[in-house]
Amino acid sequence: MKQRFLLASLLTLTGCMSGPDYKGPPQTVSQTVARQAFQRTGDIPTDPAGGVARWWEALGDPTLNDLIARALVNNPNVAVAEARLRQARANLRLEQANLLPNVNGMTMYAHAHLPGVNFNQSGNDSNQSNNTTDLNLYNLGFDARWEIDLFGGQRRTAEAAGAQAGAAEAKLADVKVSLSAEIAQAYVNLRDRQQRLQLNRQSVALEEQMLALTRQRFAGGTASAADVADVESELESTRADLVPLTAELDAYLDELATLTGDAPGTLDAALRPLAPLPLPPAQIPVGDPASLLQRRPDIRAAERNLAAATAKIGAAEAARFPRLSFMGIIGIGGTKLSDLGHLDDFAALVAPQLSWSFLDFGRNRARVAQAEGARDEAEAQYRAAVLAALRDAEDALSRFRNRRAAVATLARSEESAAQSVQLNAQRYQAGTITLVSYLDVQRRHLASEQQLSTAKANLTNDFVAIQKAMGFGWDARR
């Protein structure tokens, strides 16, 4: 009866959990305020349903799709995050296993030299005091240790480990989101530099032709030395633009190679041929503030860190209370080696132990205060992550809207420049303008094409920034 009462008491105690229960992250901003981050779309055609995990496919560039797929497999930073996730999951299994008994196989041989003791004869202590006994002990069996989780300290530790595993998973997703955005922007910049280099070389060819004609006119007395100097200055300036464009092109080739896990120069042959600049889709996925807070992996990681820090308070609280553990030994053996074969003769030992560091001079209270401070820090970091996410979303949408207007303006300017080329071609054929003037009109058209190319690249990069700010690129439900 007493044993049943003791067992029932232990089961009741093991249901206790020290420390606060995690009730979810704090509300950093209201839904009304959060929606303001989505009010700067203006006239942008948006898709309120949100984006997809493989958002880069909306750019319609198979080469970009292949680069991101390779990077997600081979990038070293992804491998680092995956290794950390495996460590966190292994730590969770370890902490869960610590809730169970620890059983070990044991084989023991002991030799004892006991002066003053004789087990082979009976008598009083004075007769035995001058005797000496040598004793051999042989034992084969098991020993087990089990600490009863009376106040939930180990369960809180396992809870914290589970939350840390969730944080590691979210950090892996964050690495993938950032990596896909970084590759997309580097690829867009690469294609922009290629187009601008081609247009720049065409400008150099036109200006060289203009310089030759101007020198002929100078030799004939119809142009001044100042006219020749002006054309030479324009030509050298245009040639000088080739240097940084070429250097930037090489840098983006190296960046894409290293991001995909290859050595610099590996992708040169595949990416150097000229290809069109990818443009954003007609509709931009934005979703809603609630899905943003659930989807962005950095927010998810901050929330899981907060849950882990909250659980660690309970683990620190449990250390302030008594600890009950059991040690048990069961085995066969005796004083002779042949005793190991006597299966009917076994020895058993059960040793309960109750310990309580009640006089620790404030150490446990300090550990609890330390855990509470860590929880407060994690909560502040969560709030900071939410605010940063809302700011990223608002800034990205604002930049995209304004860039879209700039692209439309430059597109109209380029169209006007192209019409001017056609009209001046007719005038040149009619003999009303010189070839130098006609070439200058063509040069201005090439300059407007370069400006439009840069604006389109910036627009696509802003689209990529929206995808990153919204946390697209991974599925939070997996």
The domains found in the chain, sorted by start residue, are 15-99+150-321+386-470 (1.20.1600.10), 103-148+322-355 (2.20.200.10)
Determine the pLDDT at residue 117.
Answer: 59
User: pLDDT grade, residue 8 (50/70/90)?
Assistant: very low
**Sign of the CA dihedral 387, 388, 391, 397?**
negative
Helix H or strand E segment including 111: strand 102-115
Beta pairing class for 323-334 and 346-355:
antiparallel
The torsion angles phi and psi of 77, rounded to 5 degrees, stand at -65, -35
Q: How far apart are CA 271 and CA 70, in angstroms?
A: 15
Determine the pLDDT at residue 325.
Answer: 79
Range in 68-72, 114-118, 334-338 the model is least confident about:
114-118
Contact assessment for residue 295 and residue 476, using Cβ atoms and an 8 Å cutoff: yes
Residues in the chain: 478
Which is nearest to 151 in space by CA: 352, 309, 317, 4? 317
Which is nearest to 52 in space by CA: 35, 65, 38, 67? 65
User: pLDDT grade, residue 116 (50/70/90)?
Assistant: low
Which is nearest to 474 in space by CA: 50, 53, 52, 51? 53
Evaluate if residue 358 carries a pLDDT over 70.
Answer: yes
Evaluate if residue 477 carries a pLDDT over 60.
Answer: no
What is the DSSP secondary structure assignment for residue 321, as one 8-state letter? S
* 294 or 280, greater pLDDT: 280
Q: How far apart are CA 251 and CA 227, in angstroms?
A: 38
For residue 101, CA distances in Å to 98, 146, 300, 437 come to 7, 4, 34, 92
Contact assessment for residue 111 and residue 126, using Cβ atoms and an 8 Å cutoff: no
Determine the pLDDT at residue 343.
Answer: 66
Range 415-438 average pLDDT: 90
Q: How far apart are CA 419 and CA 427, in angstroms?
A: 13
Determine the pLDDT at residue 149.
Answer: 78
Say what the pTM is: 0.82
Q: How far apart are CA 400 and CA 206, in angstroms?
A: 35
In the chain, the amino acid numbered 145 is R
Range 139-146 average pLDDT: 75
Q: How many CB atoms lie within 10 A of CB 406?
A: 14
